[in-house]
Amino acid sequence: MPQYSREEIMAAHARRMEFQEADDWKGFGECFTEDALYVEHHEGIFRGRTAILAWLVPIMEQCKGWTFPIEWTVIEGNRMVYKWWNRLPGQRPDGTFYEFSGLSVCEYAGNNQWSYQEDVYNFEETMKVLGEWSARD
């Protein structure tokens, strides 16, 4: 596999994040290679762009208005690991956000395409935050 430059990987990542911030999950999903593998520990394993899109687009439809700040990013070779927040709309009375964090491990395949993504997060914390957010006034 060819080695891609850090600049190319960061540019491809920025492009995906533009789709994400625009709630364009079809565009985000089309950034995967035809044979990509997406591992989502609570939702399942999705093989190929078609399967990724069939899962990703409907599930992210439930997340309208969320934002996804990135706290840090590490690149080694063609692999990128980053820590993100799923931040729901609104804030608690104390001013903190309804949010939960996670990590994504991605493999860049060139030409603005990604061949692998694995998301890791605390599902129990996720459910707690979603419950608080749903119960807000």
**CATH top class, domain 6-135:** alpha beta
Asked if the model's pLDDT at residue 2 lies above 70, the reply is: yes
Average pLDDT, rounded, for the chain: 96
Give the model's pLDDT for residue 137.
62
Q: How many CB atoms lie within 10 A of CB 134?
A: 9
Give the model's pLDDT for residue 38.
98
Our CA angle for 12, 102, 135, nearest 5°, is 120
Give the model's pLDDT for residue 54.
98
Structure tokens that stand for 116 in this block: 């692998």
Q: How far apart are the first and last CA of the chain?
A: 52
β partners of residue 105: 81, 118
Q: What is the pLDDT of residues 88-133, one digit of tens each?
A: 999 999 999 999 999 999 999 999 999 999 999 999 999 999 999 9
Domain regions of the chain by residue span:
6-135
Q: What is the pLDDT of residues 71-97, one digit of tens each?
A: 999 999 999 999 999 999 999 999 999
